[in-house]
């Protein structure tokens, strides 16, 4: 299975946003700069995360993005579904019914065994993603950090974090 680059970008952005101050937001441009990615491509994914209720959008010239939920309430599965959509990665097209010699109808009373196996694997994959939260990832990064990662993040936030007067937005 291959996920889009947007999933990686979204996970990194949400993890970084989990370190904002109570009133802080970051612009899409700042997040794109931090990760060295296209701002227009990232913006599409930030909007999807906002639409899924994972990010709050603060409008205006001092606006930006912040988490809509606590880091322990956002799983990797939430992010993947927001960016990639809820459809399964494998979609059975029932190719057994095609070709010059398709299988007889009696073989289609049950789901295709290949489809069943793939859906079972996807269920396990999604269950594993659901177990990992942004808080878990942040704790793992902090445990491995010799201070360099934290210093990098603090310096970036010092330059780019915008303070808003309110926590709630659309």
**Residue 128 belongs to some domain of the structure:** no
Would residue 100 count as lying in a domain? no
In a domain, 158, yes or no: yes
DSSP string, 114-130: HHHHHHHHHHHHHHHHH
Asked whether residue 137 is assigned to any structural domain, the reply reads yes
Could you count the other beta carbons within 10 Å of the beta carbon of residue 88? 15
Total domains present in the chain: 1
Q: The domain that contains 151 carries what CATH number?
A: 1.10.10.10
Domain with 83, as residue range(s), is 5-87+133-163
Domain annotation covers residue 97: no
2 phi and psi angles, rounded to 5 deg: -120, 120
Phi first, then psi: what are they for 164, rounded to 5°? Answer: -110, 165
99 within some domain: no
User: Digits of tens for pLDDT over the chain (170 positions)?
Assistant: 688 899 999 999 999 999 999 889 999 999 999 999 999 999 999 999 999 999 999 998 889 999 999 999 999 999 999 999 999 888 888 877 888 888 888 888 887 899 999 999 999 999 999 999 999 999 999 999 999 999 999 999 999 999 886 544 44
């Amino acid at each position: 299975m291959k996920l889009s680059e947007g999933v990686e970008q979204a996970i990194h952005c949400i993890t970084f946003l989990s370190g904002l101050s109570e009133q802080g937001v970051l612009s899409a441009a700042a997040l794109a700069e931090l990760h060295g990615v296209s701002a227009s491509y990232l913006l599409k994914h930030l909007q999807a995360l906002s639409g899924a209720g994972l990010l709050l959008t603060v409008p205006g010239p001092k606006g930006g993005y912040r988490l809509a939920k606590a880091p322990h309430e956002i799983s990797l599965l939430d992010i993947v579904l927001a960016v990639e959509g809820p459809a399964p990665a494998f979609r059975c097209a029932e190719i057994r019914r095609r070709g010059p010699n398709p299988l007889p109808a009696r073989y289609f009373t049950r789901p295709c065994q290949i489809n069943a196996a793939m859906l079972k694997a996807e269920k396990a994959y999604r269950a594993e993603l659901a177990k990992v939260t942004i808080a878990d990832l942040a704790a793992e990064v902090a445990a491995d950090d010799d201070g360099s990662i934290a210093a990098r993040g603090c310096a970036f936030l010092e330059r780019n974090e915008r303070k808003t007067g309110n926590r709630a937005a659309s």
